[in-house]
Structure 1
Amino acid sequence: MTVAPERPVALRRGRDLVAPELFDRLTAFCAEEYKLDPVMASRVMSEGLAFLWTMGTTGKGDVMAPSADVDPAWHTFMLHSQEYAEWCEEHFGRFLHHAPNSKTRTVGLMLDVMDLIRDAGFEVDRSLWGFAADCNSPACCGDGPCC
């Protein structure tokens, strides 16, 4: 009996959770509001949407927090309040509130959040969570032995 090799499953992207037109509007606003170049704003928005989806579908908002780099995506979406409220209701049946608290963005917390997002089937852009893909000493990348 021949067994066919498994095909790798394509990971989802946060940007695919909203209509392309809305994603473009959110990205443009994020770029302008947070002084990001358009490519970075697109990455931030995509990661933020994956974060929100994961938080909303897992019910683990009490143990999740966005990184400092991803948080602007949540702020951007919330400022588009009608679209945000409709999206939350459609996908989760409730509004995902942004209630800042005293959680410290520790390495452990960010690793846990990245794992939850990955487990939800999304690509994870490690560099937006404080972890560079590669650490080249002596530069500090936040997650290597050189830091």
Structure 2
Amino acid sequence: MTVILDRPATTPRTLISPALFDRLTARIAGDHPAHAHQAELIMEQALAFLATCAANPTAGLGPSDTVDIGWHTFLMYTREYAEFCQRVAGRFIHHQPDDEIGESGTGGSLAVTMAAMEAAGYRVDPMVWPTAAECSSGKCNQCYAGCSDSPKKAVG
């Protein structure tokens, strides 16, 4: 995997309008009450993840289960999501489920994704990303979250 060092000039939150950010976080809080207290953090980390996917189009990066909530939420706002993808990535960032969850599928390990996010200049918040120790000890099932930005499935 090649990680492109592309330092963002903005924080993840500023990748979308404040009004859209508020709509998305309200949707997360409403649809996922157990995560309502983390709605803003989830969305910020989802945006950072997506921007990292944009900068690393062949890496097949995958989100944690919690960050995937933000991605799924954004996907429901199809027009806004498509515009974001075009503006940030120059392409649509496909959400490709991996039918081989727990295997080495397209999503790769979270450690690779987190390293790519940090290399891109984004802060990785441990509240929504498990630590390597948690994954390697079998305490989580998020090492292969089951969804990735799959370059294999991308349509030009």
Name the Cα RMSD after superposition.
Answer: 2.8
Q: Which runs of 5+ in 2 are unaligned?
A: 1-6, 140-156
What is the one-letter code of the residue matched to 1:83? Answer: E
Identify the residue that residue 80 of structure 2 maps to in structure 1. Answer: 83
Following superposition of structure 1 onto structure 2, how do residues 44-123 of structure 1 map, counting pairs within 5 Å?
44-62=42-60, 64-101=61-98, 102-104=100-102, 109-123=109-123
CA distance in 2, matches of 1:36, 1:25: 18
- Percent identity over the alignment is 35
**1:37-56 superposed Cα distances (whole Å, 9 cap, x missing partner):** 54401111000000000001
Contact 2:8/2:120 (CA < 8 Å) preserved in 1?
no
Identify the residue that residue 142 of structure 1 maps to in structure 2. Answer: 134
TM-superposed deviation, 1:105? 8.2
| 1:10–1:90 Cα change, 3 Å | closer
Runs of 4+ in structure 1 off by over 4 angstroms are: 9-12
What is the one-letter code of the residue matched to 1:76? Answer: T
Identify the residue that residue 131 of structure 2 maps to in structure 1. Answer: 131
Identify the residue that residue 24 of structure 1 maps to in structure 2. Answer: 22
SS of equivalent to 1:69? helix
Identify the residue that residue 146 of structure 2 maps to in structure 1. Answer: none
| 1:50–1:10 Cα change, 3 Å | closer
Contact 1:11/1:122 (CA < 8 Å) preserved in 2?
no
TM-score, normalised to structure 1, is: 0.75
TM-score, normalised to structure 2, is: 0.71
**1:17-54 superposed Cα distances (whole Å, 9 cap, x missing partner):** 11111111110001111224544011110000000000
TM-superposed deviation, 1:60? 3.4
CA distance in 2, matches of 1:55, 1:25: 23
CA distance in 1, matches of 2:9, 2:120: 9
Q: Per chain length, whose mean CA-contact separation is higher, i.e. which structure has more relative contact order (CA < 8 Å, sep 6+)? A: 2
Q: Which runs of 5+ in 1 are unaligned?
A: 1-8, 133-140
CA distance in 1, matches of 2:48, 2:63: 11
What is the one-letter code of the residue matched to 1:128? Answer: V
Aligned length: 128
**Which structure: larger Rg?**
1
Contact 1:11/1:123 (CA < 8 Å) preserved in 2?
no
